[in-house]
Amino acid sequence: MNTCATSKMTYRVLLVDDDVQLAELVVDYLSPHGFAIETVTNGDLAVNKILVENPDAVLLDVNLPGTDGFSICREVREQFHGPIILLTARDTETDEVLGLEFGADDFLAKPVSPRVLLARLRMHLRRIPTEETTIEENVLELGALKIDRGRRSVKFAGNLIPLSTAEFDLLWLLAQNAGSVVSRAMLFESLHGFKFDGFDRSIDLRVSRLRKKLGDDPQQPTLILSIRGIGYQLSIESS
């Protein structure tokens, strides 16, 4: 769990990577900014470490000795609800799509810029509700859809729907603007923290996965509507 020292928050981050130089760089750079970093160098040890210790965030290399990062992400995703940022030496769209498919929240190509990594971690962790957030601010109900931000849980027609952190954040953002059209650029920039280039399809992929999990017909959706040339709209009835 998160711990507070006066008003400053300390976050526990698990770095799963066999690159010793990168690990030293991450520890040296992030530690003064309120992050406690623990490292694991073998993929076979990562799943148990993540599920038992439940860190606030995971930095996960794709290419690892033992179990690879994609497999680790897929295995822990339903039980671990914190941000997972994938690190890879291969800056390819295929890797990014695979990572999102397996439930990753973000994707950074190596060599990793410490400043960019810090910014991404802060962005994802800011979305975790604080103890001061009221119950009313944490819960949204739209017809058959109930979203509890405090518990990071979603129910649809009474059924609990398992979502990745990225999927939950997207749905929460759409729900906050239910009945209104939210542009793809606004969704991208709110969820990623940097400007939309007009080509990235990660938002479309996440919407597709959300529809599938919510049982929304992708050919004729009634819950998450596509607004051609603009973005998406969550039906205000959500039923």
Q: Which CATH architecture has domain 3-126?
A: 3-Layer(aba) Sandwich (3.40)
Distance CA 134, CA 61 (A): 36
Nearest-CA neighbor of 50 among 16, 6, 100, 11? 16
pLDDT, residue 54, reads: 94
Q: Please state whether the peptide bond connecting residue 111 to the residue before it is cis, i.e. omega within 30 degrees of 0.
A: yes
In this prediction, residue 5 carries a pLDDT of: 37
Domain with CATH 3.40.50.2300 in the chain: 3-126
Assigned CATH class of 135-234: mainly alpha
CA-to-CA distance for 103 and 14, rounded, in angstroms? 17
**pLDDT at 133 (0 to 100):** 44
Quote the pLDDT of residue 81.
Answer: 82
Sign of CA dihedral 21, 109, 99, 161: positive
Report pTM: 0.64
Task: Return residue ranges of the chain for CATH 1.10.10.10.
Answer: 135-234
Output the six-digit token pair for 150. Answer: 């405090």
Q: Which long-range contacts (CB under 8 A, 24 or more apart) does 208-217 make?
A: 209/100, 209/101, 209/167, 210/163, 210/167, 210/170, 210/171, 213/161, 213/162, 213/163, 213/167, 214/145, 214/156, 214/161, 215/156
User: What's residue 239's pLDDT?
Assistant: 56
Bridge partners (DSSP) listed for residue 234: 224
Low-confidence ranges of the chain (pLDDT < 70): 1-8, 91-93, 127-137, 238-239
pLDDT of residue 7: 37
Given its phi and psi angles, is residue 152 left (phi above 0), alpha (psi -120 to 50 degrees) or beta? Answer: left
